[in-house]
């Protein structure tokens, strides 16, 4: 695989109907992967605004996307109409929004505040003074009102945990199939209570963009791309969105170099 080049990994078909287009960008460094991901994010959101006069994106928390958000805020401040974009979270820990573990706090401090995104364009999960299941229903109602039914995000950004989880969808966790947002009560990582978009929502997106960095992720990346799959419980294998785009650094994607 050529470093930095677009690599088609395959297109799944069912009854002659194309299911998923998948591209992998394998870069020499984390910085290069983050830069490539930033360009993809901006291009997709600009295209959404051009076509529909608005765009929508769902963003994760965690360590991996933090430098991406910083880069977008510093280098791409004038590159997209940020006031025409609706911002959601892929998932959230059920903690107050000012808590150190809050995904919204990280996204707000690293990206939304520096870009001056209007409050009316921010849609964090409600995590205080509300019961967990009720919070999931409220978030789902807001999602459908703002993005539409089905909620066709222009872009959902995802990472992959060392255990294979995406958003707060963990291996062996099966959320209710009819829901767009669901509550998680017993996540295997603390805190156990969370809110997350479901597979149904992820699969409705126009594009899923994965950013996976570092040697610690090499094992799970190898499992994800193994043909035939050895594990049947990996959440990524349940994704059928129109397009999957991966940005990996050499450390995470070393299994793909051969």
Q: Which helix (H) or strand (E) holds 95?
A: none
Domain count, the chain: 1
Is 119 contained in some domain?
A: yes
**For the segment 190-231, what is each residue's pLDDT rounded down to a tens digit?**
999 999 999 999 999 999 999 999 999 999 999 999 988 888
Return the beta strands (E) in 115-192 as ranges: 122-123, 155-158, 181-184
Q: What is the pLDDT of residues 152-181, one digit of tens each?
A: 999 999 999 999 999 999 998 888 878 999
Q: Which two tokens stand for residue 115?
A: 């870009």
- Tell me, yes or no, whether 100 lies in a domain: yes
pLDDT of amino acid 66: 98
CA 75 remoteness from chain centre: 21
d(CA 154, CA 206): 5
Beta bridge partners of 87: 57, 122
pLDDT for residue 2 is more than 50: no
* Structural domain containing residue 44: 22-253
Tell whether 214 is covered by a domain. yes
5 within some domain: no
Cis peptide before 45 (omega within 30 of 0): no
pLDDT value of position 12: 33
CA dihedral 187→91→67→191, nearest 10 degrees, is: -30
> What CATH code is carried by the domain that includes residue 239?
3.40.50.1360
> In the predicted model, is pLDDT for residue 239 greater than 90?
yes
Q: Sheet harboring 7-14: ordered strands across?
A: 7-14, 17-27, 243-249, 208-212, 155-158, 55-59, 85-89, 122-123
Which band of pLDDT confidence, cut at 50, 70 and 90, is reported for residue 123? very high
pLDDT exceeds 80 at position 17:
no
Q: Is residue 157 part of a domain?
A: yes
Torsion (CA) 204, 210, 216, 220 in degrees, nearest 10: 50
Query: Can you count the helices (H) and strands (E) in the chain?
Result: 7, 11
Q: Using one digit for the tens of pLDDT, what is the confidence trace for 52-105? A: 999 999 999 999 999 999 999 999 999 999 999 999 999 999 999 999 999 999
Share of the chain above pLDDT 90, in %: 84
- Residue 63: inside a domain, yes or no? yes
Q: Per the structure block, which two tokens stand in for 108?
A: 């707000």
Place of tokens 């078909």: 13
As a whole number, the mean pLDDT across the chain is 92
* Residue 35 half-sphere exposure toward CB, CA atoms < 13 A: 7
Residues contacting 45, CB < 8 A, separation 6+: 55, 57, 80, 85, 154, 155
Residue 14, domain member (yes or no): no
Please choose, from the candidates 24, 35, 60, 21, the residue with its C-alpha nearest in 3D space to the C-alpha of residue 157: 60
Does the pTM exceed 0.85?
yes
Do 116 and 157 contact (CB within 8 A), yes or no?
no
pLDDT at residue 3 is higher than 60: no
Maximum CA extent, the chain: 52
Per the domain annotation, does 80 fall within a domain? yes
Q: How many CA atoms lie within 13 A of 157 on its CB side?
A: 28
Give the three-class secondary structure for 157.
strand
């Amino acid at each position: 695989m050529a470093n930095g080049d677009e690599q088609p990994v395959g297109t799944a078909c069912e009854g002659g109907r194309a299911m998923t287009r998948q591209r992998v960008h394998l870069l020499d460094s984390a910085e290069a992967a983050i830069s490539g991901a930033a360009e993809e994010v901006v291009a997709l959101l600009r295209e959404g605004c051009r076509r529909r006069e608005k765009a929508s994106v769902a963003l994760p928390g965690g360590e991996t996307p933090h430098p991406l958000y910083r880069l977008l805020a510093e280098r791409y401040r004038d590159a997209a109409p940020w006031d025409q974009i609706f911002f959601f979270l892929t998932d959230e820990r059920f903690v107050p929004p000012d808590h150190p573990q809050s995904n919204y706090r990280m996204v707000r401090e690293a990206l939304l505040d520096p870009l001056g995104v209007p409050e009316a364009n921010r849609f964090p999960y409600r995590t205080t003074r509300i019961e967990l299941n009720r919070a999931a229903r409220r978030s789902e109602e807001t999602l459908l009102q703002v993005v539409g039914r089905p909620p066709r995000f222009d872009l959902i950004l995802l990472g992959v945990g060392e255990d294979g989880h995406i958003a707060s969808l963990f291996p062996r966790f099966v959320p209710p199939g009819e829901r767009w947002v669901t509550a998680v009560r017993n996540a295997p990582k603390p805190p156990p209570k969370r809110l997350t978009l479901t597979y149904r929502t992820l699969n409705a997106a126009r594009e899923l963009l994965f950013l996976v960095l570092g040697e610690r992720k090499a094992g799970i990346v190898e499992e994800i791309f193994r043909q035939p799959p050895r594990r049947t419980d990996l959440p990524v294998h349940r994704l059928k969105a129109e397009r999957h785009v991966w940005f990996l650094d050499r450390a995470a994607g070393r299994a793909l170099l051969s």
